[in-house]
Amino acid sequence: MNPDTTDTDTTSTDTTSTGSAVTITEIAEFLQQLRALSRPGAADPTPDTTAERAAFLARKADLFARIAAAHPGLIPPSPANGESTDGDPT
């Protein structure tokens, strides 16, 4: 019996979860949620929208952490000792 791996947990707050690859479906659902939160009237800070935005931000952090873990070579190094990040090698 194979477990269903297509189900996505949108309530996870574990931003260190790097076990599974980000799927196209997860990205599509994330973008749909972003669009819903971007509609006029969604910016009113009610308890419902505040919780919804917090869940969205947790989902965003989880997706980005998993993408970064899957592609570590694409992450630029952090500047050390206040060095410039403008790309100038001098």
Domain ranges of the chain: 45-71
Q: How far is 85 from 78, CA to CA, in rounded Å?
A: 8
**Could you report the per-residue pLDDT of 62-85, keeping only the tens digit for each?**
999 999 898 888 888 877 766 665
Question: CB neighbours (10 Å) of residue 66?
Answer: 19
User: How many angstroms separate the Cα of 44 from the Cα of each of 28, 48, 50?
Assistant: 25, 10, 9
Q: Is the pLDDT of residue 51 over 80?
A: yes
**Could you report the per-residue pLDDT of 19-50, keeping only the tens digit for each?**
688 999 999 999 999 998 887 765 566 667 78
**Neighbouring residues of 87: CB distance < 8 A, sequence distance ≥ 6:** none
> Would you say how long the chain is, in residues?
90
Helices (H), the chain: 24-38, 47-70
